[in-house]
A and B are shown apart, each in its own frame.
Chain A
Amino acid sequence: MSDFQKPRILLCGDTGISVEFGDEIDPGINRRVQQLFRRLKLRQTGGVLGLNPTYRSLFVQYDPWLCSFENLLLTVEECLGPGENDAVGFSEVIEVPVCYGGEYGPDLEEVASFHKMSPEEVARLHYTPLYHVYMIGFTPGFPYLGGLDERLHTPRKQTPRRLVPAGSVGIADRQTGIYPIDSPGGWQLIGRTPMRVFDIRKTDPFTIHCGNSVKFRPITKEEFEQYQDS
């Protein structure tokens, strides 16, 4: 069974646990992860130092001096129980403008020829769906988006790039995502957004949060260059 009735508790050393709800990428499993994340976050249990919702599990970091392992498990258990209607709906939609292809999407042609379709078709299939933000990770603010059209599932690049510019929009297998900062990376780059997904100078440096939805909007090179970040 891939969706566990009762979540598994996995030990991550003496200061972490992982609460695992299943072993596949699935919106239902991810909703349960997000729900536990929100409930634990709201409780603000002393000694819980960090919460990290991922595709199918919630990682919890704690300080045993302030919160015992037993206390943590009981808190998690209570948060897993029935509660008020706080289901995660992926209801907040963040619109992300993307310039596809050309210098901003150096792998668009390659992805198109891999799938035997035109670059325009790849772009269209990419900006049509509404994506769920399953988790944030890799680098600060990097959203892992689920819901990519099957016709666009593409393997990662054989050799990762040493430098992927911030704003690059990429595809890897069945996922798509946005690189928030310059970093190395192996995803197929099909476009770039002029929007700052992560900006340390802002009060809230993060534009996209877990449990949001993302909609891509195609823009031209001119629009990209004239874009002013709000």
Chain B
Amino acid sequence: MNSIRILEGGPLATVQDRGRFGFRDMGVPVSGAMDQQAFMVGNLLVGNGLGAASIEITLGGFKAEFLGEACFVVTGSDQAPRLNQAPIENWKCHFAGRGDILSLGYARSGLRSYLALSGGVQVPVIMVSRSTYLRGAFGGFEGRALKEEDILCLGDTYDDPILVFPSGLIPPYSDEPTLRVIRGPQDDHVTAEGMEEFLSGAFEVTTRADRMGIGLSGPLIELRKGADIISDGTCTGAVQVHGNGQLTILGADCQTVGGYVKIATVISTDLPLLGQVSAGVKVRFEEIALLEARELYMRNQFQLRSLYERNRRAG
């Protein structure tokens, strides 16, 4: 069976897929790639189904050896990838042979890159997903971050790679991103001034940022009553206000229920931008309507499918 050997795991590299759906009622977080767009486009380019497992590489510093022939692509944050020392392009398919070495430097911008491999990473499926959930120590490769000497098996090649550059499908990454949000579920807990502050201010990502949540510091958001609610369901992108008026945006590994007020939710189209923010980055928020958000979502889904179908027909 085809495989790769990890030579360096770097600060944090984990196996991720679209996420673990259907177990929320049992308290199991969704997990999955923090930048789903980079993740899905990567899979399409190497000829995988949209949900094949890939490697999410945080910050960079990753190195792996191919133990057989494979097609691969690195998407998301630009971490200066090299194949046998020669720089290679992000978002473009490359071919590797036995003994070839892929190495990543460190992120020049953004935070997470995705290594998609033809056939997908084969790890045991736990609760219908291959995503790693670090806190629960399950999923992915032995429920943990990848490290030196781990050998990851690859599945059988599914389809031919797509050799075009997916220009329309690359998220508009920025070092000062504006995240579009939909109000709610508890926007009625914030004062008019608090909402104004939220939608006009700049917020800096703190060092308390990981796959569970992204802490922000900035203008204090004023609430009508306390920050505590009777715990209810949470999701990736929910903007929580804490007792001290500061914000946390929930990430893919967030717990399934939470007892803090959630004043708004980042739209799914902008979650890839959220997946790329690191400490020190300034973010702003812009309110949009559900209808608008839905149109953006549909357009993107359509384009992903259309890229796939066009290239299938051409091939």
**Residues on the A chain within 8 Å of B126, using CB:** 200
Given that A137-B255, A139-B135 are known contacts, is A61 also in contact with B232, CB under 8 Å in the complex?
no
Contact A61 B231 (CB under 8 A): no
A107 at the interface (CB under 8 A from B): no
Distance in angstroms between the alpha carbons of A125 and B4 in the assembled complex: 57
> Which of B23, B182, B256, B301: most chain A CB closer than 10 A?
B256
Q: Is B265 an interface position by the 8 A CB rule? A: yes
Query: Which residues of chain A are near B238, meaning CB under 8 Å?
Result: 12-13
How does the 8 Å CB contact mask read for A51-89 relative to B, with 1 for contact and 0 for none? 111111111010011000100000000000000000000
A140 near B257 with CB under 8 A, answer: no
Docked CA distance A58–B293 (Å): 22
Contact A206 B232 (CB under 8 A): no
Known interface pairs A14-B268, A139-B255; A64-B27 also in contact (CB < 8 Å)? no
In the complex, the answer to whether A141 meets B230 with C-beta atoms within 8 Å is no
Query: Which chain A residues (167-196) contact chain B, with CB distance < 8 Å?
Result: 180-181, 183
A123 contacts B by Cβ under 8 Å = no
Whether A11 and B185, one on each chain, are in contact in the complex, defined by CB atoms closer than 8 angstroms, is yes
- Nearest A residue to B288 by beta-carbon distance? A14
- Distance from B94 Cβ to chain A, minimum over Cβ atoms (Å): 30
Q: B-side binding surface: helix, strand, loop or mixed?
A: mixed
B106 within 8 A of A: no
B30 proximal to A (CB < 8 A): yes
B28 & A140 in contact (Cβ 8 Å cutoff): yes
Answer yes or no: A142 CB below 8 A from chain B CBs: yes
B255: nearest residue on chain A (CB-CB)? A138
A191 to B258, CA, bound (A): 24
Chain A residue at minimal CB-CB distance from B136: A140
The answer to whether B21 touches A55, judged by C-beta atoms less than 8 angstroms apart, is: no
Contact A49–B136 (Cβ < 8 Å): no
Complex contact A137–B185 (CB within 8 A): no
Query: In the docked arrangement, what's the CA distance between A140 and B137, Å?
Result: 11
Which residue of chain A is the closest to B302 with respect to CB atoms?
A65
Give the residues in chain A near B182, CB-CB below 8 Å.
Answer: 11, 13-14
Q: Is A209 an interface residue (CB 8 A)?
A: yes
**How distant is the Cα of A205 from the Cα of B182 in the complex, in angstroms?**
35
A16–B256 Cα distance when bound, in Å, is 13
Q: Does B184 contact A (CB under 8 A)?
A: yes
| Cβ-based interface call for B235 (8 A) | yes
CB of A57 within 8 A of CB of B233, answer yes
Q: Answer yes or no: B237 CB below 8 A from chain A CBs.
A: yes
Check if A11 sits within 8 Å of B256, measured CB to CB.
no
Contacts of A50 in B (CB 8 A): 21-25, 30
Cα distance, A61 to B301, chains bound together (Å): 17
Alpha-carbon separation in the docked complex, A137 to B233 (Å) = 9
Nearest A-chain residue to B234, judged by Cβ: A59
Q: Verify B232–A200 contact, CB threshold 8 A.
A: no
Q: Given the known A-B contacts A12-B184, A54-B233, are A137 and B290 also in contact in the complex, defined by CB atoms under 8 Å?
A: no
How far, in Å, is B19 (CB) from chain A's closest CB?
Answer: 9
Q: List the A residue with the shortest CB-CB distance to B305.
A: A65
Decide yes or no whether B130 CB sits under 8 A from chain A: no
- Is A52 a contact of B25 with CB atoms below 8 Å? yes
Asked if A11 meets B22 with Cβ closer than 8 Å, knowing A16-B265, A59-B233, A64-B297, the reply is no
Query: CB-CB contacts of B220-235 with A at 8 A, as 1s and 0s?
Result: 0000000000111111
| Binary CB contact string for chain B from 283 to 315 against chain A (1 if under 8 A, 0 otherwise) | 000000010011001100100000000000000
| Alpha-carbon separation in the docked complex, A138 to B231 (Å) | 10
With A and B bound together, what is the CA distance between A214 and B238 in angstroms?
Answer: 32
Contact A136 B298, beta carbon cutoff 8 Å: no
Question: Residue among B27, B183, B257 with the most chain A CB within 10 A?
Answer: B27
CB distance from A204 to the nearest CB of B (A): 10
CA distance A24 to B229 in the complex (A): 9
Residues of B within 8 A of A49 (CB): 21-22
A-B contact pairs, 21 of them (CB 8 A): A11-B185, A12-B235, A12-B265, A13-B238, A14-B267, A14-B294, A18-B232, A24-B230, A50-B25, A50-B30, A54-B230, A54-B233, A55-B232, A65-B297, A65-B301, A136-B27, A138-B27, A139-B135, A140-B26, A144-B231, A183-B135
Nearest 6 Cβ contacts at the A-B interface? A59-B233, A137-B257, A13-B265, A10-B185, A14-B293, A52-B24
